[in-house]
Amino acid sequence: MRFSDSEWDRWSAGPLLIESKDTGQLLGSTGLMFESATSAAVGYVLAKDAWGHGYATETLQAVTSLAASLGVTRVFALCHPRHRASARVLDKGGFLLNASFIPAQFPNLDGTDRGEALMYLHPPDLHVEPLGDANDVQECARMMASSEPWITLQRTAEGLVPVISDPVKEVHLVRDADGIAAFIILDLRGLTNGYVQTICVRADRRGGGLGAALLGWSEIHIQQQSPNVFLCVSSFNPGAQKFYARLGYERVGVLRDYVISGYDEILMRKTRGPLRRK
């Protein structure tokens, strides 16, 4: 009870009970487990005699709708790799497999468990459009040049124009009443054919979950052709490193002094599995 009260005190929702509409019988528990005001995990536990009656599907739909009504832009769930019944419920609920090898504990299972989970992501409700004309390019370049890590990397708006206008890359935008609110640049070629080259959010829209939502949209887009999503994060940006790790990215390499002397670029990967299945 203390944990439940603390969650409800801190966030806009927390643990919930699942009861039968007909009899009021207690069937299990569910709720939202917040990472931030805009990111939360969904989950549920049902009594064994409540299995197989559709309660899990109904519960997941209800909690996902609750999250949307509270302004949560990133809704995800963790599932044990061997729990196919839960995976089917997530599939029916519109969730998509987003990452493997997520550290997790399953205290109700035996000691053979590796302590890893599958991450499922609910597609964000986001209107995304492709890069438009030269004015869009200039606006994106100015946003990048006035933000980290490009300030530390000494990139100018003029020098960034070719990066944004490169015809072999994909650039996707989110707009609001004030112009371009966020954009992302993707490189879908070669071995790392799911590479997130750049993600940038306008200063006044940071901290509201827009960056995570746009990245989630892009991951789903990439995973239509590749199980892997790659990105680099600068060594001087530990906050970004923690952010990507929380989203399921794993550090896989270091590019020493890659852009400017004294700073490294850390290569990170999120994967749903191998390129080829046996």
For residue 155, pLDDT over 90 is answered with yes
- The answer, yes or no, to whether residue 249 has pLDDT greater than 90, is yes
In the chain, which ranges are continuous DSSP H helix?
Answer: 2-10, 55-69, 84-92, 134-145, 157-165, 210-222, 238-246
Please say whether the beta carbons of 203 and 233 come within 8 A.
no
Query: What is the average pLDDT across 80-84?
Result: 89
Domains 2-121 and 129-271 share a fold: yes
Say how far apart CA 123 and CA 183 lie, in whole Å.
17
For 129-271, give the CATH class. alpha beta
Q: Which of 69-78, 112-121, 130-139 has the lowest mean pLDDT?
A: 112-121
pTM: 0.89
Query: At 107, is the pLDDT very low, low, confident or very high (cuts 50, 70, 90)?
Result: low
pLDDT surpasses 90 at 64: yes
Give the domain 2-121 fold.
Aminopeptidase (3.40.630)
Q: Is the pLDDT assigned to residue 106 strictly greater than 90?
A: no
pLDDT higher than 80, residue 112? no
Please return the burial class of 256, using the count of CB atoms within 10 Å of its CB with bins 0-12, 13-18 and 19+: exposed
Q: Where are the domains of the chain?
A: 2-121, 129-271
